[in-house]
Structure 1
């Protein structure tokens, strides 16, 4: 779609995948959240990518080096997101020594926008636990 200049169509497809997720239709999602993500993604799609971007292949791949990440990490997964995302969050939390994963009800990939109060509560709770542990 983008190659054909259909930024509106590409943006809507992006919203169906990341905002609606596999278990909902657009009408099931908060219209304000959907519009905000639409505007952000529409603007992002208008930015031209460099013609010649050099890809750097990591050796070993990043997925094999996750255990080296020792920073405390909180991975939050929206229960209505794609199941593959849950697998990625589980992989991260399982491979990184100081990581934990939480599932947040009522949102897909943009769960921080759909459930901001609960998302912020979980994040603040995580940060407070780090303060108490002296990290």
Structure 2
């Protein structure tokens, strides 16, 4: 895998790290939390053969600095696109990254060519499964007690392995890469800035998304992520929904070839 020379751009007074490769239709990838843009390694290099692929570290993650003033993730992305002179793009987001992509699409629809979300959250969604609540309770206890190693193990077991299967047989390299990103996140110095809430809950206006939308869910994720996928599929008129089998939340890292094929098929159809 070749090394790409990344760059920094100033966004709302903060240095944000990004990488760009390839030519053609632009695809902007938004990572989940507490990860960084390296989670897209297998998409960045493969899809840049046919598209202009951009990935970046959200403020406070990866190589990006933190904001010291309150900030909007939507406005950060808008400023990034403006700095790169990209007027219209396809957004690709996973987990929190998908949630951010949906929020952005609803806020700036004229800047979006199409939307791809995987294992996505949704602003305004409040329902939690029993398993997800148990995970949250355990995580909060570890945070309260300052048990960093247990936090990292719990996050890895939950998001990479998944709540409904065993670790046996999983690719250890995927777990290793995930742990490295989470560990790096803990080492970052946090700024004073807080994320500004969206003016509207996306769940209430989801039917306003008019662009072609691909929704990808996974077999071994928490049930609410599949329910969100079903809701999006029912509310977005121009939506396509695909479920990937035998994988969990971090499907793009565990099964990159299949994930990439699903994306390429969708993009070539639009």
Q: How far apart, CA to CA, are the structure 2 residues paired with 1:94 and 1:46?
A: 41
Quote the residue 1:56 is aligned against. Answer: 197
Q: 1:23 aligned to 136, 161, 164, which one?
A: 164
Name stretches of at least 5 consecutive residues in structure 2 with no aligned partner: 1-141
Relative contact order, higher structure (CA 8 A, sep 6+): 1
Does 2:140 align with 1:8? no
The count of aligned residue pairs is 129
- Match for residue 176 of structure 2? 35
More helix by share: 1
- The answer to whether the Cα contact below 8 Å between 1:69 and 1:96 also exists between their aligned partners in 2 is yes
Shift of 1:84: 1.3
Q: Conserved in 2, the CA contact under 8 Å of 1:106 and 1:115?
A: no
Whether 1:125 and 2:234 are equivalent positions in the alignment is: no
> Structure 2 matches for 1:71-82, cutoff 5 A?
71-82=211-222
1:104 partnered with 2:244:
yes
TM-score, length-scaled by structure 1: 0.83
Hey, which of these two has a bigger chunk of strand by percent? 2
Please give the alpha-carbon distance, in whole angstroms, between the structure 1 residues aligned to 2:146 and 2:188: 12
Query: How far apart are residue 123 of structure 1 and its match?
Result: 0.7
Q: Is the 8 A contact 1:106 1:114 kept in 2?
A: no
> How big is the shift at 1:76?
0.9
Q: Structure 1: any 5+ residue segments left out of the alignment?
A: 131-135
Residue 38 of structure 1: how far off its partner (Å): 1.0
Rounded Cα–Cα distance in structure 2 between residues aligned with 1:57 and 1:36: 31
- Residue 85 of structure 1: CA displacement? 1.0
Cα distance in 1 between the residues matched to 2:159 and 2:254: 12
TM-score norm. by structure 2 comes to 0.44
When the two chains are superposed, the root-mean-square deviation of aligned CA atoms in Å is 1.9
Structure 1 segments (4+ residues) deviating >3 Å: 2-5, 48-52
1:105 Cα offset (Å): 1.0
